[in-house]
Structure 1
Amino acid sequence: MENENAQVSRAEYEALRAERDQLLALLRALPDISFVIDTDGLYVRVIGGANETMYIDGKTLEGHTLHEALPAEIADRCLNLVHEAIRTGDLQTVEYPLRVSEVALLPDASRKGSKGEVEQWFEGRVIPLSPFDHPKPVALWVAVNITPRKQLEQYWREAAHTDSLTGVANRLRLFDRAHREVERAHRHGRPFCVLMIDFDHFKRINDHYGHATGDDALRAVTRACGEMLRDNDFMGRTGGEEFAVILPETDLEGARHTANRLLETVRTIQLPNAAPDLHLTISIGCARLQAGEGLDRLMRRADEHLYAAKAAGRDRCCGDCN
């Protein structure tokens, strides 16, 4: 009976080995790269990665550990997943960004230069691999390059929050950012200002020069204004020919300075191909966040100041900063 059990166990073992060998043969033919990693984080074997446009040859990793190859935080996370897969016997998955330059054991020719600094995204699929000719338990880590998918997701996220005509933030994104900045300003007692902007005589531009020229004017103005704003300033289109600029960490003197620069910038814009004789101007309403004030009230006050600027003759700024 013992002999029969031993024979059954041996047969099962050989069947598992055959299954493993078939799996490894299949992995070698796949475009994605795979790693056999033991409980110490040792790269026992590197397999596949036939798609050279998506992967760098990782054979230099064999015989080294995760912590020798990767930044400590990433290595810790990977090793924890290997342990969890081996402990539970279940598939573990994770998405993670990685640059070639971050993998210390890859050849310098691959790590250096602009290509090495490009962030790529991978989906790691980790399963226990048994039996295997190694003294310690191992797991198979299949790294699927999902960079194109991530880039597409990023594109659609940006498209959902970007004004398609001008490329600046749309109303949804602008107000989301403004709400967060208002909360932060109140929490830390910091100054915060808003500029409401409206094109002067925009209907006249559309009627006289055509809507295509009107669109060109909107794009030219938002582009020029965006280039002169600070990195932490934020511009968005609120509708039609109206825009808003939020100015974190900005007092009234700073808001006045920004508004005047915007006015001057727009006055210099020309559309030589569409309307060489067209002179563009904008009107601006400025409001500073007051104690206990919410975003809605702040924007209403800025809008009221904008209409005051229109009534006073346009091409000017009115509001708290005057």
Structure 2
Amino acid sequence: MPLQHPRTHMRGQDKSGPQAEQRSASPIWSRPWGSYAAFVGFTTFTFAAFIAVLFIWIHRESQNQMRELVLAQARSLFESILVARHWNANLGGVYAVKTDEVQSNPYLDHPDVATVDGRTLTLKNPALMVVEISEYSRQERLFSYRMVSDRPLNPRNGPDELERVGLEAFRAGDAEFWRMEDLGPAGPAVLHYMAPLRIDAGCLSCHAKQGYKVGDINGSISVRLDITGALARHDQWFRQAATAAAAASMLLLALVLLYFRRLRRQIAQAQDRCELLANTDVLTGVPNRRQLMARLEEELARAMRTGQPLACALMDVDHFKRVNDTHGHQKGDTVLKVLARIARETVRGYDVVGRFGGEEFLLVLPGTDSEHAMELAERVRLAVHDRLATETSLPNVVTISLGVATLRPGDNVESLVKRADDALYRAKEKGRNRVEREE
């Protein structure tokens, strides 16, 4: 009757079976892909969030820098206007030849004087000079500004709604006032800048009648800068910087994920190696005693659950000490390695061959009754008898003895192995190179 595991028809005659079940369930072969995907997702999300926050911060900082630049430009322009105004005021005004294009200031008392050569000169006071320079600048599309006061001599110098807010801020003690306004498609982006004007001695000739004293705030110069170009250049720079940074970030993220993937693969390989070393006899390459007994526990539990038979065979090298003493321990190690290989090649694919200790090996034979276990053990004994000496280059035949035991009701691992050990002892007593079964 052929020796066949009762589940062989479902698996075929390959190396599947209980060993394959153990392998598929072992953490050596199954990896937590879900946790790795979660790690990749978390890393990607965290990295993207960090880059997004970094971009927002850079954008805000660059906007602040751009704002400071245009404010510096507005302050510089204001100071230039103020210097020219002070120059005019300290001179008591500047006279210009009156023409059709140069008219008198209707808000001044006696602004015109006649010269001995028949020309008429008209007074350009600080306020009028500022207005005319502003008009010239506006026509040249450079910038625009104007004098503003809530008590103007010239009604045209009355404040608009935004300028009124600035004048209120000056009376509250603010040193300057500004607003940025982007009109979008309806108009350009502009910066409104104001700083207070204070009465000095040169201003009293015009403003003393309004009750002002030196040091009083009588208004402001309202500067209006077109910053559309500055904003466009800033936005273009930021888009280019963001594109370059995003590309670099994606490359860096790809490299990081590639590194972690390689690292994970190396860790998995190291875990495989550690698991293999923990469960494998280093010399022979078969399961060590810890793994062997764990497998026997599993097969015993399965046999009790399913009612299938289970057998084991304890195998020992005859006169192994003589081999070591005669040929050396290195040759003895070779004998054990070749013996393990021959046993694995002789038993079925789902049987387990492991090193029990020293020169003893245990064969775990699932789905095998006593008769079939004896046949398998005898097959192994004959294979070792015929091949071991030749494959180890020993001059003498090396033999083995085996003791076979099968599972009984109420058995545990210790009792099953104990009966196999007792059977092995009888095989030794009866002359060695033989197979004995339990009594």
**Bin of the TM-score, shorter chain as denominator length:** 0.5 to 0.7
Matches within 5 A, 1:64-213: 146-213=264-331
Q: Whose helix fraction is larger, Structure 1's or Structure 2's?
A: 2
TM-score, normalisation: structure 2: 0.43
* Seq. identity, %: 35
Q: 8 Å contact 1:198–1:242 — kept in the other structure?
A: yes
> How many residues of Structure 1 are paired with residues of Structure 2 in the alignment?
207
TM-fit CA distance, 1:28: 1.1
Q: Which of 417, 420, 430 is the equivalent residue of 1:299?
A: 417
362, 372, 376: which is aligned to 1:254?
372
Give the alignment partner of residue 28 of structure 1, picking from 226, 251, 254.
Answer: 251
Moved more, 174-183 or 268-277: 268-277
CA distance in 2 between counterparts of 1:288 and 1:161 reads 25
* Cα drift, residue 274 of structure 1: 6.0
The answer for the alignment partner of 2:343 in structure 1 is 225
* C-alpha deviation, 1:148, in angstroms: 1.9
**Cα distance between partner residues in 1 of 2:318 and 2:56:** 86
How far 1:22 moved relative to its partner?
Answer: 3.3
CA distance change for structure 1 residues 267 and 20 in 2, over 3 Å: closer, same or farther? farther
- Alpha-carbon contact 1:197-1:242 (below 8 Å) kept: yes
Distance 1:206 1:11, change over 3 A: closer
User: What SS class does the counterpart of residue 146 from structure 1 fall into?
Assistant: helix
8 Å contact kept, 2:312–2:364: yes
- Give the conservation status (yes or no) of the 8 Å contact 2:316–2:400: yes
Q: How does 1:2-81 map to 2 (within 5 A)?
A: 14=59, 22=245, 24-29=247-252, 32=255
Residues 1:264 and 1:12: Cα distance change in structure 2 (over 3 Å):
same
1:311 is aligned to 429
**1 CA distance for matches of 2:372 and 2:289?**
24
Task: Give distance in 2, aligned partners of 1:270 and 1:302.
Answer: 23
What's the counterpart of residue 215 of structure 1? 333
Where 1:168 maps in the other structure, the secondary structure is coil
User: Following TM superposition, by how much is the alpha carbon of 1:23 offset from its aligned partner in structure 2, in angstroms?
Assistant: 5.5
Compute the RMSD of aligned alpha carbons: 2.8
Q: Whose radius of gyration is greater, 1 or 2?
A: 2
Q: Residue by residue, what CA displacement relative to the aligned partner does 1:92-149 show, whole Å, maximum 9, x if unpaired?
A: xxxxxxxxxxxxxxxxxxxxxxxxxxxxxxx6xxxxxxxxxxxxxxxxxxx6662122
Gaps of 5+ in 2: 1-54, 61-237
Mapped to 1, the partners of 2:362 and 2:399 lie a distance apart of: 15
Shift of 1:306: 0.4
- Counterpart of 2:346, as a letter, is M
Contact 1:213/1:275 (<8 A) preserved: no
CA distance 1:23–1:180, change in 2 (3 Å): farther
Q: How far apart, CA to CA, are the structure 1 residues paired with 2:318 and 2:246?
A: 69
Report the 3-state secondary structure (helix = DSSP H, G, I; strand = E; otherwise coil) of the residue aligned with 1:315. Answer: coil
